[in-house]
């Protein structure tokens, strides 16, 4: 069983207000990658600002949490608060 802590996060584009949901072990580095254009799916909507974080135990739990923060059919564009 994976007991490592992951951070489920949502970032908001300062360009158009779009939201992106993902998970990582290192939120500072991940946000930096988003803002440097190293993430293909978010490159065109820079700059990004951290909007939401939640710590989750285990990679599988983090992956399962992400869809609960999104609206089905819209991918990673909208965030449910």
pLDDT at residue number 78: 45
Residue listed under structure tokens 């869809």: 67
- Distance from C-alpha of 26 to C-alpha of 9, rounded to nearest angstrom: 11
The answer to whether residue 49 scores a pLDDT higher than 70 is yes
For the chain, give the mean pLDDT: 85
Q: Could you give the angle at the alpha carbon of 20 between the alpha carbons of 15 and 25, nearest 5°? A: 125
Residue 76, pLDDT > 80, answer no
Domain coordinates in residue numbering, the chain: 5-69
- pTM over the 0.85 mark: no
């Amino acid at each position: 069983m994976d007991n490592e802590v992951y951070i489920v996060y949502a970032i908001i584009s300062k360009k158009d207000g779009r939201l992106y949901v993902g998970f990582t072990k290192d939120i500072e580095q991940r946000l930096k990658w988003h803002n440097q254009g190293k993430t293909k799916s978010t490159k065109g909507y820079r700059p990004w600002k951290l909007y939401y974080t939640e710590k989750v135990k285990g990679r599988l739990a983090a992956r399962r949490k992400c869809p609960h923060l999104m609206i089905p059919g819209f991918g990673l564009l909208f965030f449910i608060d």
